[in-house]
């Protein structure tokens, strides 16, 4: 984890049995460290979109939203985005619910909201790009949104 990860997150992981390594830098620096060590230490990479279950977990956002609104989706969703997986998961949930006949084919407009100090997806969208480049000098007090190179940027 980045060395400045909120203390509660670090404690929670340690209490659940994780060996936590704090890395100076950002989540991208942590990913680079995992890349170096995963083979030699026999790790399974649980990074965003490199494992099969994160999108499945994020789908619950879509299901809970639809259920709370009586199986009618809102016109607009504003989603605080770090890596983009929540948006992907909700969209997948909407497709599944339509297949089940629980909702119709109408989809909400979905907006990725990012902190001005770390906004790679917003910057790419505004530039008309189909992928986001790494955001330089990423910073925000919202640690979950400080993802300078979003894997789910597509």
Q: Give pLDDT, residue 67.
A: 97
* Of 83, 85, 77, the residue nearest 114 (C-alpha): 83
Q: Which domain holds residue 12?
A: 7-41
Rounded-to-10 torsion of CA 30, 15, 85, 48: 40
Query: Of all residues in the chain, what percent carry a pLDDT higher than 70?
Result: 100
Residue with tokens 């990860």: 5
pLDDT (mean) for 75-96:
92
Evaluate if residue 154 carries a pLDDT over 80: no
Number of domains in the chain: 2
153 inside domain? no
pLDDT confidence of residue 152? 78
Report the C-alpha gap between 121 and 149 in whole angstroms: 9
Q: Max alpha carbon distance in the chain (Å)?
A: 50
Residue 7 has pLDDT above 90, yes or no: yes
pLDDT of residue 44: 85
pLDDT on residue 144: 85
The answer, yes or no, to whether residue 117 has pLDDT greater than 90, is yes
User: Which one, of 142, 65, 77, 139, lies nearest residue 109 by Cα?
Assistant: 77
Residue 83 pLDDT? 81
Top-confidence residue, 61 or 28 = 61
Residues 77 and 100 both lie in one domain:
yes
Residue 82 is assigned to a structural domain of this protein = yes
The domain that holds 125 is classified in CATH as 3.40.50.1100
Instruction: Say if residue 87 is in the same domain as residue 119.
Output: yes
Q: Is the pLDDT of residue 110 over 90?
A: yes
Model pLDDT, residue 107 = 97
Rounded CA separation 96/103 (Å): 9
Q: Would residue 89 count as lying in a domain?
A: yes
Provide DSSP, 99-136.
Answer: HTTSS-S---EEEEE-BTTB-HHHHHHHTT-SSPPPPT
How much is the pLDDT for 21?
Answer: 93
């Amino acid at each position: 984890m980045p060395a400045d990860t909120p203390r509660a997150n670090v404690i929670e992981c340690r209490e659940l049995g994780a060996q936590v390594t704090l890395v100076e830098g950002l989540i991208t620096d942590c990913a680079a460290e995992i890349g170096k060590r995963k083979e030699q230490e026999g790790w399974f990479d649980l990074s965003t979109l490199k494992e099969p279950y994160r999108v499945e977990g994020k789908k619950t956002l879509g299901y809970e939203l639809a259920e709370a609104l009586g199986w009618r989706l809102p016109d607009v969703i504003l989603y605080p985005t770090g890596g983009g997986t929540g948006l992907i998961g909700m969209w997948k949930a909407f497709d599944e619910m339509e297949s089940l006949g629980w909702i119709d084919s109408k989809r909400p407009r979905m907006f990725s909201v990012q902190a001005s100090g770390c906004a790679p997806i917003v910057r790419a969208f505004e530039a008309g790009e189909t992928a986001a480049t790494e955001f330089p000098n990423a910073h925000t007090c919202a640690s979950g949104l400080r993802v300078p190179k979003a894997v789910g940027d597509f």
